[in-house]
């Protein structure tokens, strides 16, 4: 095992796959000589050249379209969004081209494309740099979406995404890049459609993902002191949602709490609730509860920003209310 930062885990995955396969290349703003806005591509241009680590103008719609076209010809592009919020400028290419071309071509084209970069609510980055875009892309047919939360799953998910023949969006949280943890020296891959059981328990199922994993576990530490025994699931796969892992847990606990940084209206939690209510309602002993961000642009003010997203104390109180 090596203890490395999350951004280094992503860089290792990129480096290993570029060394293995000459069709893999990176494209985006400042990914080359600058090394990426969060150093995920640091020094890769020196190793692979300026064509395979390609700096682009500030033109998201253009370089996304270029990457999709490259994927159609058999290359395997990795598009880094300097901030995932900016990829809204490429929404047409992602939805109408990346998500649809394999279907509309009758299977004649594969789209082995990875779209990755920093997102989520940072620390006073302002509304336009603090977007929660999961639900925007979750509605697009033809995409796979994963959200990493540890150096271990970041590396394993990115390697799997690069080798997949479908477009994959990898959400990285801007506040997790400096998270440090053990990563195996031996090569490994993680599935793009499976959740992770972080903690087994019998009282309640808590489903979360990305940075909220750590808010949940902070709340769990306090819940354990009070005698509660929660089961915690890191969703990881946002499309498709691993509903089977959730249902397996619900068969034990019969109560479900969903904690997300996404907006409440039309968010990931809303989709999980719909699937559970439609198909597994009889497993529930009480209504599903969701804790989601406020439906507002993220404020710049630090105190207001903190009030926008769910905090550990709110999770603690919600579990107590559901179980008492």
Of the listed 12, 17, 29, 60, which one is catalytic?
60
Q: By the 8 A CB rule, do 192 and 157 touch?
A: yes
Q: Is residue 129 flagged as an active site residue?
A: yes
Of the listed 129, 134, 261, 271, which one is catalytic?
129
Q: Which residue has the tokens 């892309």?
A: 137
Reported in sequence order, the residue ranges of 43-165 that DSSP labels E, i.e. its strands, are 53-55, 76-80, 114-119, 144-147
Cβ atoms within 10 Å, residue 30: 15
Q: Which two tokens mark 184?
A: 């195996």
Taking alpha carbons only, the member of 201, 209, 253 closest to residue 230 is 201
Q: By the 8 A CB rule, do 22 and 61 touch?
A: no
Q: Is residue 305 flagged as an active site residue?
A: no
Which are the catalytic amino acids? 60, 129
């Amino acid at each position: 095992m090596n203890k490395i930062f999350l951004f280094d885990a992503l860089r290792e995955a990129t480096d290993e796959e570029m060394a293995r396969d000459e069709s893999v290349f990176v494209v985006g703003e400042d990914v080359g000589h600058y090394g990426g806005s969060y150093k995920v591509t640091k020094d890769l241009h020196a190793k692979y050249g300026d064509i395979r680590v390609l700096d682009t103008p500030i033109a998201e719609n253009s370089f996304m379209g270029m990457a999709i076209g490259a994927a159609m010809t058999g290359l395997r592009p990795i598009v880094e969004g300097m901030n995932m919020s900016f990829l809204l400028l490429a929404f047409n290419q992602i939805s109408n081209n990346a998500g649809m071309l394999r279907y509309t071509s009758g299977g004649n084209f594969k789209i082995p494309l990875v779209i990755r970069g920093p997102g989520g609510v940072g620390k006073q980055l302002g509304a336009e740099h603090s977007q929660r875009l999961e639900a925007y892309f979750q509605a697009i047919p033809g995409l796979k979406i994963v959200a990493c939360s540890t150096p271990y799953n970041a590396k394993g998910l990115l390697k799997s995404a690069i080798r997949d023949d479908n477009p994959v969006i990898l959400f990285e949280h801007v506040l997790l890049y400096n998270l440090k943890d053990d990563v195996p020296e031996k090569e490994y891959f993680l599935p793009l459609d499976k959740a992770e059981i972080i903690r087994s328990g019998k009282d309640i199922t808590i489903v979360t993902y990305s940075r909220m994993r750590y808010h949940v576990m902070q709340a769990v530490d306090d819940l354990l002191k009070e005698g509660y025994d929660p089961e915690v699931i890191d969703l990881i796969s946002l499309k498709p949602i691993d509903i089977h892992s959730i249902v397996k847990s619900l068969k034990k606990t019969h109560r479900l709490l969903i904690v997300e940084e996404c907006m409440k209206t039309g968010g990931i939690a809303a989709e999980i609730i719909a699937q559970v209510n439609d198909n597994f309602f009889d497993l529930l002993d009480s209504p599903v509860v969701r804790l989601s961000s406020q439906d507002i642009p993220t404020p710049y003010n630090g105190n207001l920003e903190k009030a926008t997203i769910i905090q550990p104390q709110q999770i603690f109180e919600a579990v107590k209310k559901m179980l008492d």
